[in-house]
Amino acid sequence: MSDAAPAGVVVGDLEKVYVDPRTAEEVVAIRGLDLTIEPNEFVSIIGPSGCGKTTFLHMLAGLRKATGGRMLVHGKPITRPGADRGMVFQDYALLPWKTARENVEFGLKIKGLPAAERTATADRYLRQVGLDGFQNKYPRELSGGMQQRVALARALANTPEILLMDEPFASVDALTRISLQELLMQLWESEPRTIVFVTHSVEEAVFLSSKVAVFSARPGRCARIVPIDLPRPRRWAALQAHPRTAELRQELLALVQGGIAAPVGVA
């Protein structure tokens, strides 16, 4: 039809087969995965353990290669990692020999920004995630939740078009998790961008997302898309009371636990 490249992310018939180099044994992690992500959409991925969610994110980031199918970002195939696709890891993955500020500055330094500008930008993002005054601390001097904030600031400061988040709040305590979720919502609502967010928590997916992609058990594929038609801005206090919240949670839980997404062979 049109020559214009489709905006956003288009994934078609994606496949990833891992081959054990010693035994030549094959594990089909993903097969027949189709998913379309609109620009500035907040998509959560939910599904049983081992269904290929991390694998999928890493392939979007260009950290692992697909063994079949298509993955297009703005019409262009993904070949390698790039600053246009930022990532937040479950284990924070901060560089221990850099301070909080140096970690956040790192991407800007790679881009060649002058030092003064880098520092100003890093400090602004650190303030946004509530870490004013911790700029010169090393990761080991910060709590888990604070480290995850630094990792979030680091990814945001680099202004990626697409932000990939792999269970970023899974390893922090419940209260910190809630404050990080609200923080992420505020940031996203004031400055929307495409976010692909992997989680095991139905509550989290409902709270954050524009739509939720429910993956099937391995080999993973997108079994169902559930649009989250909850009002914004999203805040926990308001959302808990909303009648749709409970319905959507029920629906997702049923999909994850029973039927399509049930893990096979899991005791």
Partner 1 sequence: MDAVRAEHLHDVPTGTRLVHAVQRVAYRVWIALDVVPGLAAFVAFVFPLAVIVAVWGALAAVSLYPDYLFPSPGQVAVKGWELLANGDIVRHSGASMFRLGLGFVVGLVLALPLGILIGVNRTASAFFMPPITFFQAIPGLAWVPLAILWLGIGHKAVTFIIFNSVFFPILFNTILGIRSIPDNMVNAALTLGASPWVLVKHVYLPGALPSIVAGMRLGAGYGWRALIGGEMIATSTGLGFMIFDARQFLGTDVVILGMIVIGILWLVTDVLILRPLERRTVLRWGTVRE
Q: For binding to partner 1 (CB under 8 A), which residues are involved? A: 58, 61-63, 81-83, 85-87, 89, 91, 93-98, 106-107, 110-111, 138, 140, 151, 154-155, 158, 160, 164
CB of 65 to Mg ion, least distance (A): 18
Stretch 186-225: interaction string toward ligand ATP, x if CB under 6 A: --------------------------------x-------
Q: Judged by CB, which is closer to ligand ATP: 113, or 260?
A: 260
CB of 166 to ligand ATP, least distance (A): 7
Sole residue written with tokens 């959409």: 41
Q: Judged by CB, which is closer to ligand ATP: 48, or 107?
A: 48
Q: Does 49 bind ligand ATP (CB under 6 A)?
A: yes
The only residue of 6, 39, 50, 130 in contact with ligand ATP, by rule CB under 6 A: 50
Q: Does 54 bind Mg ion (CB under 5 A)?
A: yes
Query: Counting Cβ atoms within 10 Å, is residue 103 exposed (0-12), middle (13-18) or buried (19+)?
Result: buried
CB of 54 to Mg ion, least distance (A): 3
CB 208 within 8 A of CB 185: yes
Residue 184 corresponds to which tokens in the numbers above?
Answer: 């992420």
Mark the segment that binds ligand ATP (CB under 6 A) among 49-57, 142-150, 153-161, 222-230.
Answer: 49-57
Q: Judged by CB, which is closer to ligand ATP: 100, or 212?
A: 212
Q: Judged by CB, which is closer to Mg ion: 144, or 192?
A: 144
- CB atoms under 10 Å from CB of 8, counted, come to 18
Q: Does 27 bind ligand ATP (CB under 6 A)?
A: yes
List of residues contacting ligand ATP (CB under 6 A): 18, 27, 29, 49-55, 218
